[in-house]
Structure 1
Amino acid sequence: MTMLGVSGVLSRISELQDRLGLNPAPAAVTAGGTSGARFASALASATGAGRGAGTVGGPDGDDVLAAAKKYLGTPYVFGGTDPGKGMDCSALVQRIYRDLGVELPRNSWQQARAGRPVAGLADARPGDILAFNSPVDHVAIYLGDNRMIAAPKPGDHVKIQMVYEKPSQIRRVLDTVPTAAVQDMAALRPAGLRTGNGLGGVPYAGLFEQAGARHGVSPKLLAAVAKIESGYNPRAVSKAGAQGLMQLMPATARGLGVHDAFDPAQAVNGAAKLLAKHLREFKSVPLALAAYNAGGGAVHKYDGIPPFSETQAYVPKVQKALAALGG
């Protein structure tokens, strides 16, 4: 009987995982310098042992949702894998998990075999993969409350939907990822999603903090404006032509030095610059918000919040969102 060394056993584990469609993160099973604990963790993942409710130190459902929401508005492109040009459903799922250091197979039917099965939608958790039809031809990420985020079909875009039919498979990947495969989650999260300053869980928190510090504007005020303007969607376009996360009109964006309003970093910096100007000019948060919505000239003309129905509704909406953030 041939005895396999650690390297040989790990190689055999990797082969079995490929056959089963488990495909853990590549860092989880590297032969060189593998510690006993890391080897045991990799073995447990491959055999299905040691799977609990979650992996300490690894990504959780909230991390998956935060990573997923930054792709809202991305066009559906069959076979596409580039977020800048468009993606299909399985490329979206693969990209979301890859952003968190977890590698999944490319195809939807393969993703429907990753991780471990979940009995039904009643047992599903945010971050689980929902697969549809038999054979599987569509996948999505479960958000909770019978909602999912998906790239639905040609001509459409990544969006949040109700779970419109019973999934043929539900798979849980997060609690099958060995801890050794995942490093500090703060480093793995996209820069725009890192949190702090009381903005835990808010998309693009890092950008709000940086721009706020640069221009002397509350990061929570910037976050509240983004929530009301676009719902944190960097690809949003209004009927009037306002663009991006902070809904800047093209002419306004150019005046602020924003060359691409769909770039979250540029958009947030431009919005912070504009809000700082309005705050200095009007010395009032409600009036600054009114000026952001309707223009500073309208605020001066009416010596207060202009009597426009949109602006009259906009200011309290942002103030309510700001209050919800503790601002």
Structure 2
Amino acid sequence: MSITDVTARISQIQAQLALLPRAGGASATFTDALSRTTAAYAPGDPAGAPGPAGSVTGDQVVTRALELVGLPYVWGGTDPERGVDCSGLVKSVYSTFGIDLPRLSADQARAGTPVASLDQALPGDLIAWDNSGRNVGADHIAIYIGNGMMIEAPRPGGEVQVVPVTTPPDYVRRILADPAPFATTPATAPTAATAPGAAPAGTPYADLFQRAGSTRGVDPALLAAVARHESGFDPRAVSPAGAQGLMQLMPATARGLGVADPFDPAQAVDGAARLIGDLLTRFGSVELALAAYNAGPGAVMRYDGVPPYPETRAYVQSVMTSWQGAA
């Protein structure tokens, strides 16, 4: 997998996780908070205590880390131009955003706040291992980038790389502030996608699309078109990336939406309707909302439109054709 592929995939499947209010304390919609793409975090100080609210996001941390892929491993290195070791990588990436972490991996693995397990980790979190009895605490550390992947400086003779997390970490630490609960805000003006409608006759789960669409202010036919493309109306579908259920929600995204079981069609449809409704409010366009559903709001904002990912462009065209054909 190329770095371009990794970056695109991270934007696609991990840019929908962090949920926080807008800077300044104003309440935000789910997608206002998803700015990772999206949400505003508060950086921690060297001791791990939260600092003042800022605009640093987990996706920004990941994006910066990805820029260092291929950089040589240099023992004791912290220079993003010449080389880094594992803790040097972490320190260098976070210092870009004015977050001063300790130099050693053992100290970095005590910074921020603990995360219970890897399945609760968000992009930008630190994951670390205690592999040696010769020292106390972590002796290897990496930056989690989501979907079971991490970026690390592995060993002398190696280079900064993106690899799967194959061994459960001994430490998971969050340097950025915990995501805050979100609140949804309905669209203020009806559009074709938010106007009342109905799923086409004979559509599987039509009653669920109708109910969720009415509740969340989204055209049921649009929800049905998304489900058709995402899973072929299969509530047990699981994608290679781990997206689940009728609406193909990633587990972390489902949790953020309050969906306890993404394989439950009723919960999945309601969660997807909630997300799509907020994306419509944020971007004001069905095409952009669909692009954000597929590739993440951050990718849409980064490219100021539908991202140039072939998969995303094909996705938007396919769902739009299906939805418009149902009108």
For the criterion TM > 0.5, the same-fold answer is: no
Normalized per residue, the structure richer in helix is 1
Task: Give the TM-score normalised by structure 2.
Answer: 0.39
TM-score (norm 1): 0.39
- Of structures 1 and 2, the one with the larger relative CO (CA 8 A, separation 6+) is 2
